[in-house]
Structure 1
Amino acid sequence: MSIEGDGPIIQIEDEVDESSVPSSKRTKTSMAGEFFEKFFDDKGLPKAKCKNCDKIYMARDGGGTSNLIKHSLKCVGRGNGSSYPPLDQEKYREKISEVIVKHNYPFTFVEHKGIVDLLCFLHPGVKSISRNTTKSDVLKVYRKEKEKLKSYLQSIPGKICLTSDLWSAINTNQYMVLTAHFVNRNWELEKKVLSFIHCPPPHNGFKLAEKLISLLKEWGIEKKIFTITLDNASNNDVMVNILKKHLLSGLGLIAKGTYFHVRCGAHNLNLIVHDGLKVIDGSLGKIRLCVKYIRGSEARKLKFASCLEQLSNVTSKQVRQDLPIRWNSTYLMLETAIGQREAFTLLSDIDPYFDCLSNEEWDKVKTIADFLKPFYDITFFSGSTYPTANLYFSGVWRIHMKIKEVSCVDHSEFEKQNQLCCMARRMEKKFDKYWNSYSVVLSFAVILDPRYKLQFVEWCYVRLLGSEGVQVAKLILDKLKAFFQEYLKSSNETTASSIQRSIRGSPNIPSNALQDFGTYESKLCEPSKNESDLETYLNEKKN
């Protein structure tokens, strides 16, 4: 059937029984038939009426359906009996901005013809916008979200801990990132990136302090800062001194800023291990070259894969490349390579260009990897989605004990063990440099964990220092009491209930590493007549 009216001539196919028509000759039904109703007027002329708006088109044979389809797209409800709600253009533009930010789309995304057609298909009321308008909308969303976060941070009842670092982009431009870590009213750990800004040189302590101070003022949290965690760059020491003086002048720090500067534990551990790995630079370099050779072409990968298939005890099916600046990736590369040792040897037999490690070198690498495993096992404290401060002390203590144990043994009879001893001594020297800078404040976190309390800290120091460890634990307890009293003065809410809570959601300290702790009884916790909430907590039994 064809229809003609005010527009071009349009065709609507007559209804047919498709089951009786061969598929090769079956007529394709137009989409217009879904939205229009066919009828004949009083004069017997064929016409079609829109099912939604009742608009009538005249028809005759031989016409097309494009005009009807066009009408159905523009007609509110598309002829399905329902009506479109009016489109909120502001909400639509806000949603587009959120999509662009969330998925990192370019601003030109809104000008792509396919996207424009899709949006118009979904709702005929959509108004196209330009990339410049989209940029303005994204900035509007940013300012709105920033104000919400600013108000939220100011409503936090406790203190805020900061982390900051400089990051270099691939084009060598450097940026400063500032992140806030805090516990909200529901006792949930949260992390919010406050700033990620271009930081052109010079990167001296004065310039960095100036930027951080301006950011703290901008967010209105100068009086809510507890600590800032940084790496060991010398410019950070200058920056911390300036920042501490500024915050102390506004009475924004507890304990006169004694615990304000926290050196990044992951960075310290990275420095310690890298210093020890220098002992096996030769063997480590050979493994890196082996991995790069295998990953260098598809043919080599396939040849190595065929070597792996011939071995039944190989767990990993591909080689792992490390990132030298991250020691834990180096450990994973060593662990994987050791598991594929036989495949490496087999490849060297069939590929004359592949230079593999000797058996002696493999044995040395295996000894070093076994020694480094405890270091890798505690990398969980780098997590940011669960509390780790209460676990960090015990992990570092276990590493300290491992280093002392190996460095004090005479391995002169075996070259590979002598190499391990040399490595441990290099690491011990580096470890001693950083231990005192973080041991006290992280001891507080363990003491406030109801599972371990003061007895655990005392036990750790006794294992490290002998009888002197008792006095060290006592000094730490005195510092905690002084810190607690000052915190009560500066806090608007009592912290008694917070001290008695157990931290949930974080991994436990491995029990096999603390098997002697269960039998250790502290002699420091004696009942006091005028006990504070902290002393009451310390004298309670461990949970």
Structure 2
Amino acid sequence: MTMVEHVGFRMFVRNLQPLFDIATFDGVEADCREIYLKERQKVYEELDKLPGKIGLSADTWTANGDAEYLCLTAHYIDDSWQVKKKILNFLLVDPSQTDGDMLSEVIMTSLRNWDIDRKLFSVTFDNHSMYEKIVWKIREQLCQHRFLLCNGQLFDIPCAANLIKMMVQDTLEKSCEILHKVRESIRYVQCSQSTQEKFNEMVQLVGINSQKCLCLDNTHQWNSTCVMLDAALEYKDVFLIFQEHDPHTGTSLSGVDWDRVSALTTFIKQFHEASSIFRGNKCNTANIYFPEICNIHLQLIEWCKNSDDFIHSLALKMKSRFDEYWKKCSLALAIAAILDPRFKLKLVEYYYPQIYGDKSQKCIDTVSDCMKALYTGHAIYSPLASHGSCDGSLVGTDSRDRLKGFDRFLHETSESQSDLDKYLEEPLFPRTVDFNILNWWKVHAPRYPILSMMACILSMMACNILGIPMSKVGPELMYSTGNRAVDSYRSPLRSDTLQALMCAQDWMHNDFEDAKAWPGSTIFALS
């Protein structure tokens, strides 16, 4: 934006067209703010009319090295059963006041300004001790006003992509010595044409016919480390022979080292496969995460049994980090899977005995009880319930009615079969490659007609659960080990101007790409 004030630019434009009226920096800023306010009103009205709940995610951005910004994004499923996400605020944060109390109040103020504090269903933050305090403060305020269902058990949802990135970082940090040896071995082979030719001769001698090429990784992209290790393993036997014939190879890898490289590669490939599935999810709904997270859980349990001290200690460290995540969001993951007509409760009944052993039935019962409580909560407290139901159990209820407890009692003790029971008893839907769960719910919602309004209780529950942003990282940042940063062109701007640019760009791009863009993708990429 400051370009319009540059002497060279103004001379260039004047030479092209002397009569052209060049905009000023202040004028461009004013235009940006005007567009921002106009688009903000559209987003406000959309959120106000939203029948379901909203999931909130938060990201920290850096600018000019020291400045920090908090980016708040709303995630939801609209009344057309489309996943949407809108940036709400891009706020400058004082680095000296980044404590839980201050940031929680900043977030709550943002929610109140958008008038969506009563609609908040979940928050998805990074796994960081600072965010734990923020989540606790926000949940406490919302529970006081009874805005949260199930006493907030489904409120705190750590980012799945962030969990994977942290476990990968744990793996790489623990394996730094072995990684150094692999890099130095590859670097030596590629140091000259003669050593490369000698290595290639040994490849032919050993009889390796691989299309993979030795390459060094980018330390800021952990998927490239996976590629490097995977290729190096293909030439393991060649490296061992090469070390014997060339005393100048420097750092060498022993047979035990190669076994650990193999285990290390298996670890990272497991995470890479999981992240690829997350990124490839067309509608980025919560239901797909349960089987993938369970598979990681089972793999960690297996790795912890390894007799090798290196692998065992590494697996224990990852398992400890994973357990913190699982404790917070296993319920939400399981319920999202149950709301997938291809799985329902059967998927939970399949995985839990493998994870919990003899305690599995108790854990399954906990999930089932939470599912029923969530359904009842939607039936009693949903704004739609105030319009009545076809069976008469909720007729005449009002959000200010003091007999809500009695209504809940009638609903819970009713002998009529609920939509939840009907849904769970129906046969599983066939698994197909092109299955879209939101389309399924859009088509099948009328089959559960407890409410005669625009959505029924069960479908509203599905809308809220499936709309939880289990992961908030865009595809281009999935493998990055760094933090998000505002580019050098926008960093010097005033904080309110930067917020106007970031938000308006997101909203307008979303409107333009709504029909074709993948909803889980990041709207813009700033490096």
Q: Does the CA-based 8 Å contact 2:10-2:22 persist in structure 1?
A: no
Distance in 2 separating the partners of 1:108 and 1:306: 57
The equivalent of 2:275 in structure 1 is 379
Q: Does the CA-based 8 Å contact 2:150-2:370 persist in structure 1?
A: no
> 2:55 aligned with 1:161, yes or no?
yes
State which of 121, 127, 130 in structure 2 corresponds to 1:226. 121
Deviation of 1:282 (Å): 1.5
Distance in 2 separating the partners of 1:175 and 1:288: 36
Q: In the TM superposition, what whole-angstrom CA distance separates every residue of 1:387-419 from its partner, at most 9, and x where no partner exists?
A: 24112121121122122223235x3xxxxx453
Distance in 2 separating the partners of 1:119 and 1:152: 44
State which of 452, 456, 469 in structure 1 corresponds to 2:360. 469
Paired amino acid for 2:270: P
State which of 426, 440, 446 in structure 1 corresponds to 2:331. 440
Q: Does the CA-based 8 Å contact 2:118-2:147 persist in structure 1?
A: yes
Distance in 2 separating the partners of 1:385 and 1:451: 17
Paired amino acid for 1:197: L
Deviation of 1:301 (Å): 9.0
> 2:134 aligned with 1:239, yes or no?
yes
Aligned 1:22-37 pairs, distance under 5 A: none
State which of 227, 241, 261 in structure 2 corresponds to 1:365. 261
Residues 342 and 393 of structure 1: is their aligned pair in 2 closer, same or farther, counting only changes over 3 Å?
same
Q: Which moved more, 1:106-115 or 1:277-286?
A: 106-115
Paired amino acid for 1:370: T
Deviation of 1:288 (Å): 4.9
Instruction: Please state whether the residue corresponding to 1:530 is helix, strand or coil.
Output: coil
Number of residue-to-residue matches in the alignment:
392
Q: In the TM superposition, what whole-angstrom CA distance separates every residue of 1:143-178 from its partner, at most 9, and x where no partner exists?
A: 222222222222222111011132334512222111
Q: Does the CA-based 8 Å contact 1:111-1:131 persist in structure 2?
A: no
> 2:77 aligned with 1:183, yes or no?
yes
Higher RCO (C-alpha under 8 Å, 6+ residues apart) = 2
State which of 95, 99, 103 in structure 2 corresponds to 1:208. 103
Q: Which moved more, 1:314-323 or 1:333-342?
A: 333-342
Residues 390 and 134 of structure 1: is their aligned pair in 2 closer, same or farther, counting only changes over 3 Å?
same
Instruction: Please state whether the residue corresponding to 1:270 is helix, strand or coil.
Output: helix
Distance in 1 separating the partners of 2:117 and 2:249: 61
Q: In the TM superposition, what whole-angstrom CA distance separates every residue of 1:50-106 from its partner, at most 9, and x where no partner exists?
A: xxxxxxxxxxxxxxxxxxxxxxxxxxxxxxxxxxxxxxxxxxxxxxxxxx7xxxx84
Instruction: Please state whether the residue corresponding to 1:378 is helix, strand or coil.
Output: helix
Q: Which moved more, 1:340-349 or 1:462-471?
A: 340-349
The equivalent of 2:163 in structure 1 is 268
Deviation of 1:421 (Å): 3.2
Q: Which moved more, 1:158-167 or 1:447-456?
A: 158-167
Residues 541 and 435 of structure 1: is their aligned pair in 2 closer, same or farther, counting only changes over 3 Å?
same
State which of 142, 145, 149 in structure 1 corresponds to 2:43. 149
Distance in 1 separating the partners of 2:73 and 2:159: 14
> 2:293 aligned with 1:396, yes or no?
yes
Distance in 1 separating the partners of 2:82 and 2:238: 47
TM-score (norm 2): 0.65
Distance in 1 separating the partners of 2:277 and 2:70: 23
Residues 275 and 171 of structure 1: is their aligned pair in 2 closer, same or farther, counting only changes over 3 Å?
closer
Residues 337 and 317 of structure 1: is their aligned pair in 2 closer, same or farther, counting only changes over 3 Å?
closer
> 2:206 aligned with 1:315, yes or no?
no
Distance in 2 separating the partners of 1:333 and 1:465: 36
Q: Does the CA-based 8 Å contact 1:227-1:260 persist in structure 2?
A: yes
Q: In the TM superposition, what whole-angstrom CA distance separates every residue of 1:101-160 from its partner, at most 9, and x where no partner exists?
A: xxxx84548982587369859xx8x53322332222122222222222222222222111
Instruction: Please state whether the residue corresponding to 1:145 is helix, strand or coil.
Output: helix
Deviation of 1:213 (Å): 1.3
The equivalent of 1:9 in structure 2 is none
Residues 148 and 283 of structure 1: is their aligned pair in 2 closer, same or farther, counting only changes over 3 Å?
same
Residues 443 and 372 of structure 1: is their aligned pair in 2 closer, same or farther, counting only changes over 3 Å?
same
Q: Does the CA-based 8 Å contact 1:277-1:423 persist in structure 2?
A: no
Residues 151 and 281 of structure 1: is their aligned pair in 2 closer, same or farther, counting only changes over 3 Å?
same
Distance in 1 separating the partners of 2:367 and 2:91: 39
Distance in 2 separating the partners of 1:222 and 1:305: 63
Paired amino acid for 1:174: E
Aligned 1:482-493 pairs, distance under 5 A: 482-493=373-384
Paired amino acid for 1:162: L
Residues 214 and 471 of structure 1: is their aligned pair in 2 closer, same or farther, counting only changes over 3 Å?
same
Paired amino acid for 1:481: K
Aligned 1:50-69 pairs, distance under 5 A: none
Q: Does the CA-based 8 Å contact 1:228-1:262 persist in structure 2?
A: yes
Q: Which runs of 5+ in 1 are unaligned?
A: 1-99, 412-416, 495-527
State which of 404, 417, 422 in structure 2 corresponds to 1:536. 422
State which of 167, 174, 177 in structure 2 corresponds to 1:282. 177
> 2:92 aligned with 1:195, yes or no?
no
Q: Does the CA-based 8 Å contact 1:484-1:534 persist in structure 2?
A: yes
The equivalent of 2:340 in structure 1 is 449
Distance in 1 separating the partners of 2:340 and 2:3: 47
RMSD of aligned Cα (Å):
3.6
Q: Does the CA-based 8 Å contact 1:305-1:317 persist in structure 2?
A: no
Q: Which runs of 5+ in 2 are unaligned?
A: 204-208, 386-413, 430-527
Residues 237 and 432 of structure 1: is their aligned pair in 2 closer, same or farther, counting only changes over 3 Å?
closer
The equivalent of 2:312 in structure 1 is 421
Q: Does the CA-based 8 Å contact 1:444-1:480 persist in structure 2?
A: yes
Q: Does the CA-based 8 Å contact 2:214-2:231 persist in structure 1?
A: no
State which of 244, 254, 257 in structure 1 corresponds to 2:149. 254
Distance in 1 separating the partners of 2:183 and 2:44: 47
Deviation of 1:219 (Å): 1.9
Q: Does the CA-based 8 Å contact 1:110-1:129 persist in structure 2?
A: no
Deviation of 1:358 (Å): 4.4
Paired amino acid for 1:428: K
Q: Does the CA-based 8 Å contact 1:319-1:336 persist in structure 2?
A: no
Paired amino acid for 2:130: N
Instruction: Please state whether the residue corresponding to 1:261 is helix, strand or coil.
Output: coil
Deviation of 1:480 (Å): 0.5
Distance in 2 separating the partners of 1:303 and 1:226: 63
Deviation of 1:338 (Å): 3.4
Deviation of 1:481 (Å): 0.7
The equivalent of 2:439 in structure 1 is none
Identical counterparts, % of pairs: 27
Residues 468 and 397 of structure 1: is their aligned pair in 2 closer, same or farther, counting only changes over 3 Å?
same
Instruction: Please state whether the residue corresponding to 2:97 is helix, strand or coil.
Output: coil
The equivalent of 1:22 in structure 2 is none
The equivalent of 2:28 in structure 1 is 134
Residues 192 and 337 of structure 1: is their aligned pair in 2 closer, same or farther, counting only changes over 3 Å?
farther
Higher-Rg structure is: 1
Distance in 1 separating the partners of 2:21 and 2:242: 63
Q: Does the CA-based 8 Å contact 2:50-2:78 persist in structure 1?
A: yes
Paired amino acid for 1:369: T
TM-score (norm 1): 0.63
Instruction: Please state whether the residue corresponding to 1:282 is helix, strand or coil.
Output: helix
Distance in 1 separating the partners of 2:5 and 2:184: 43
Instruction: Please state whether the residue corresponding to 1:231 is helix, strand or coil.
Output: coil
Instruction: Please state whether the residue corresponding to 1:197 is helix, strand or coil.
Output: strand
